[in-house]
Copies of this chain bind each other. A is one copy, B any other.
């Protein structure tokens, strides 16, 4: 009956899009305490959408921070169980002045829906809900058992959902997890992501004078925490972009020759990537590795920003009392986050200059994950893509991190199908985030086929 489900999606597409827009209007920025009420609204909206799609035991689960939303439909005995994951929280929209339309007023331009969260991840996990609705509308039932676990802290480290999975592994029993939070390799190319980098996100605080000091009256003798951070963090990389923290490359696993060869077959143009996706004066990175290798199979070290001192308009001659930098490392298979954190702590301790005291705080820690492309669920996912896109899926990795994928693997012992429909230029975490509307509907259709085919496969 694929035609019937496709027809349902077609017939209801205006409503599906309107519902998504309503969802996107909620500024559920997880990092910002002042958006707490919006977080609650987004969780409630998610729960209502799950109920409306016919899911059962819908529950808003309080956590130490932002609530989880759980739902299930378990009336297909003997059929596998799919655990659908997504996140209703979004990144902050800053810098606001660079948005062409307001971040929380979803706006259609050139076939795209512009809004914070359109692709990351509201617009994507909403497809799962609409696939369930479609299947129940046409068949009166679902071809597989499903559980939904939607969280509100993905953009701030997924702490609560990770704890919940660790503590409730039995109740979450499933055969595979389904996550739509990754992009297509390129528009029109069905894509399965089989590898994600891990993430260690840290805060480094440097403490110097007891109070902010005048740089004229104390410059030359007072230790400067802003400069100290720059000095220490600059040392973490060599001039060629490689990381200088001792031990950081220990155990790093190179992609298998076949996987590397498949990357070489992908349509990739470095000049176009530079010009259209990055838009800088040139690319950076380790010598001896291709762009895709650097993105998917090499660890990185980044500094995201620095607080402290004076950075406003004009001139203030201050040596601040303290300063804090946000840094992160992306990890690849076989790198242990705990070892990386220890190595970084030791590096900072060794390079802390005279007169400065440093503290390193861990905000996020999750390992890289890989999925076996020969797993039955991955093969079914590939067929579902073929049904809708008319061509076989390519297997890629992503440089990004979805902490829950590692937890699902270690606590539930199941792989994750990373079936995403975003595009590389969707602007996740950037101004003018968008989601291609056609991909939203293709995504609903593909997820529908996946659930149907996966139910038939056993």
User: Residues of A at under 8 Å CB distance from B?
Assistant: 30-33, 91-92, 94-95, 98, 155-157, 183, 197, 199, 201, 207-224, 226-227, 229-231, 233-235, 237, 239, 241, 273, 277-286, 291, 294-295, 298, 300, 302-320, 323-326, 328, 330, 353-357, 363-364, 398-401, 424, 427-432
Residues of B within 8 A of A315 (CB): 31, 155-157, 201, 326, 328, 363-364
Inter-chain contact A355/B31, CB cutoff 8 Å: no
Partner of A197, one of B216, B278, B354: B216
Residues of B within 8 A of A429 (CB): 212-214, 316-318
Interface of A is mostly: loop
Inter-chain contact B237/A231, CB cutoff 8 Å: yes
Taking the full assembly, how many copies of this chain does it contain? Answer: 2
Partner of A239, one of B224, B303, B353, B399: B353
Inter-chain contact B226/A304, CB cutoff 8 Å: yes
- Give the Cβ gap from A331 to chain B, nearest Cβ, in Å: 11
Closest to A422 in B: B217
Inter-chain contact A234/B230, CB cutoff 8 Å: yes
Residues of B within 8 A of A307 (CB): 311-312
A199, A201, A291, A326 interface centre (most CB from chain B within 10 Å): A326
- Give the Cβ gap from A312 to chain B, nearest Cβ, in Å: 7
Inter-chain contact A399/B219, CB cutoff 8 Å: yes
Partner of A31, one of B306, B313, B330: B313
- Give the Cβ gap from A357 to chain B, nearest Cβ, in Å: 5
Please list 10 pairs of residues, one from A and one from B, whose beta carbons are closer than 8 Å in the complex, sorted by A's number.
A33-B313, A210-B278, A218-B278, A220-B295, A220-B330, A221-B273, A221-B295, A230-B230, A311-B324, A317-B429
Inter-chain contact A91/B316, CB cutoff 8 Å: yes
- The answer to whether residues A424 and B209 also contact, given A284-B355, A310-B305, A316-B429 and a CB cut-off of 8 A, is no
Inter-chain contact B319/A311, CB cutoff 8 Å: no
Residues of B within 8 A of A399 (CB): 216-220
- Give the Cβ gap from A283 to chain B, nearest Cβ, in Å: 5
Inter-chain contact A304/B317, CB cutoff 8 Å: yes
Closest to A429 in B: B214
Inter-chain contact A431/B211, CB cutoff 8 Å: yes
Residues of B within 8 A of A431 (CB): 211-212
- A237 to B354, alpha carbons, bound, how many Å? 14
Closest to A293 in B: B220
Closest to A210 in B: B279
Inter-chain pairs besides A31-B315, A220-B241, A306-B306, 16 sampled, C-beta below 8 Å: A155-B315, A213-B278, A213-B429, A220-B399, A221-B284, A221-B295, A223-B282, A224-B303, A226-B306, A284-B353, A304-B310, A305-B323, A306-B311, A316-B326, A316-B429, A317-B328
